[in-house]
A = this chain, B = another copy of it.
Amino acid sequence: MIERIADQIIALERAALDRWGKGDPDGFLEITDPDIVYYDPFQPQGIHGREALAALYDTFRGQVSIERDEILSPRVQVSGDIAVLTFNYVSYGSEGSMRWNTTEVYRRRGDTWRIIHTHWSKAASRGEGRRA
């Protein structure tokens, strides 16, 4: 059951990323909960709510072109109606090669999973460091 949910969540994310990589942010917006909290490295306060996120995503429409990408080491932690998907994401495209740490928290309502929290951040390619 949990494995089936994990497969389902990864497939949702994969499909949304496929559209994202062709400049179409609607794949993500269609599976985004109105209540989303969104973090990426460029938004000082994060983005709160789907309407605000849609306004941000509109600025990317037709701008992104990912030639090749990969979801690495995906992990899905399921508890009740929440699934926490984490993965490393590598993409090659319009912005060169990027490596990300990604968190996507999905919540189920009825039979439908929606993202209530997204956190993208730039990942180390190698090396060590520390948090202070």
Contact = CB atoms under 8 A, between A and B. Distances in A.
Among A59, A91, A93, A105, the one with the most B-chain Cβ atoms within 10 Å of its Cβ is: A105
Interface string A19-42: 000000000000000010101111
Per assembly, the copies of the chain total: 2
Among A88, A103, A126, the one with the most B-chain Cβ atoms within 10 Å of its Cβ is: A103
The 6 closest A-B pairs by CB, nearest first: A121-B121, A42-B129, A95-B132, A80-B80, A39-B101, A82-B82
Interface of A: 35, 37, 39-46, 48, 59-60, 63-64, 66, 73, 75, 77, 79-82, 84, 86, 88, 91, 93-95, 98-99, 101, 103, 105, 107, 116-117, 119-132
